[in-house]
Amino acid sequence: PITPGELLCLGSSLAFTGLFYYLYKKKARVMARIQEAPKLQVDDDLPALVSAADGRCLPYVALEGIVLPAKAVLTSHYHEGLQGVIQKLLLKEHRLIWNSLARSW
């Protein structure tokens, strides 16, 4: 026979699993949307491209290259107080391994 405590633990475990799976899928959809965003190079043609866009606004793009604000920080037109740019970072790890035969790193 299953005790009420075991049923409570099983039910709460299933509820937490469902909640975390929902949050995971929600974040995965956001990441897929970011990965599918059009990629633009930061160069002299970018201002002309933005001014030619519908409503002078590109809703969601990924900028590639070195992105710096000209005179002030970049502000979002969609969210108050949101400033800056998104930068993709690549982390490379180098491991040092002790070589006992050569007695060196």
**Lookup result for tokens 């180098």:** 94
Q: What is the pLDDT of residues 60-98, one digit of tens each?
A: 777 777 666 666 666 777 777 766 655 554 555 566 666
CB 68 within 8 A of CB 87: no
- State which amino acid sits at residue 69: P
- Residue closest to 61 by CA, chosen among 36, 90, 28, 29: 36
Predicted TM-score of the model (pTM): 0.45
> Structure tokens of 29?
């959809």
